Amino acid sequence: MTADILIQVLVSGLLIGLIYALVAVGLTLIFGVMDIVNFAHGEFLMLGMYASFWAFVLFAIDPIVALPMTALLLFAVGVIVYQTVIRRILKAPMLSQIFATFGLMILLRGLAQFFWKPDHRLIPHSLVSGNIALGPVQFGLPQFVAALGAIGVTGALWVFLHRTRLGTALEATAIDREAATLMGIDGQKMFALAWGIGAACAGLAGGLIATFFPIFPEVGANFILIAFVVVVLGGFGSITGAFLAGIIVGLIEVLGGFLVGPEYKTAIVLSLLLIVLLVRPRGLLGKA
């Protein structure tokens, strides 16, 4: 193996890793605030992709330009899902919550197939298309932009949680719900906000991925397992952890697949997860 190929593999792994991180931050945010694992997160991603697709087809708006709208739309979806379903199962045991979000996952897939047909679709020519070649290393512009977007969104989320009043309130709810309530923070609103932001992150990820990935009702299934792995590896609830873990998973997946064999790439990533959990039972940066 030459150095060129190694560099190429690392760059590809880094790019896809950043995209995994973006998909995972929303998931980990929701978990961090209210201890609920959202099985339907991949479907939020799918909705984000479809939103971009229809914006492109119906209104000729490029997915990149449509990103704010996609985020807003998915924010609304997240809040609606919270208000209609999640709010009612807050007190339910963890298992019923899994059950509800699992149902939600199937429901959103079914609705997507019902309204938009099971076809695979693609946004043929987005603003960001084509390749970049840096010496021997090549990569797609869409992937590069998506990776930049991932850094931007994760960074913005971090600033929001640590530097704004609302974000701090959200973070406080995540750390200690009782104490936050005593401090006068409205838990219900915080939860709704977490779902809105979590879904909006998935929507942004969807908008960015839609520039290079086929769009179909079951597309969430491709990403959800990896997203879970990233969340757990980073530690449930940790944004920084998810960001780091996303990069690690991307690098290991591409590098492992290249060296050992692509048929084992998922198994390699999962083995890494198990090994890390044995050493650190709460992931890399999970809360104690």
Q: Which of 16, 202, 242, 244 binds another protein (CB under 8 A)?
A: 16
Q: DSSP 3-state assignment of 127?
A: coil
Pick out residues in 124-143 that bind another protein (CB under 8 A): 124-125, 131, 133, 138-140, 143
Query: Is 158 one of the binding residues for another protein (CB under 8 A)?
Result: no
What does the DSSP assignment read for 41-69? HHHHHHHHHHHHHHHHHHH---TTTTHHH
CB 79 → another protein: shortest distance, Å?
Answer: 11
Pick out residues in 42-101 that bind another protein (CB under 8 A): 85, 87-100
Query: Is 243 one of the binding residues for another protein (CB under 8 A)?
Result: no
Per-residue x/- track, 93-122, another protein (CB under 8 A): xxxxxxxx-xxxxxx-xxxxxx--xxxxxx
Q: Which residues contact 153 (CB under 8 A, 6 or more apart)?
A: 22, 25, 201, 204, 205
Write out the H or E segment, with its range, that includes residue 73: helix 67-84
Q: Per the structure block, which two tokens stand in for 278? A: 């044995």
Q: Which of 73, 145, 257, 284 binds another protein (CB under 8 A)?
A: 257
Query: Which of 68/96 has CB closer to another protein?
Result: 96
Q: Which of 9, 153, 199, 204 binds another protein (CB under 8 A)?
A: 9
Residue in 254, 11, 3 with CA at minimum distance from that of residue 144: 11
Q: Which residues contact 160 (CB under 8 A, 6 or more apart)?
A: 166, 167, 197
CB 195 → another protein: shortest distance, Å?
Answer: 13
Taking the alpha carbons of 154, 158, 159, 165 in that order, is the dihedral positive or negative? positive
Q: DSSP 3-state assignment of 283?
A: coil
Query: Is 229 one of the binding residues for another protein (CB under 8 A)?
Result: yes
Q: Which of 79, 271, 285, 288 binds another protein (CB under 8 A)?
A: 271
Query: Which of 50/223 has CB closer to another protein?
Result: 223
Query: Which of 69/107 has CB closer to another protein?
Result: 107
Neighbours of 262 (CB within 10 A): 11
Query: Which of 195/258 has CB closer to another protein?
Result: 258
Per-residue x/- track, 202-221, another protein (CB under 8 A): ----------xxx-xxxx-x
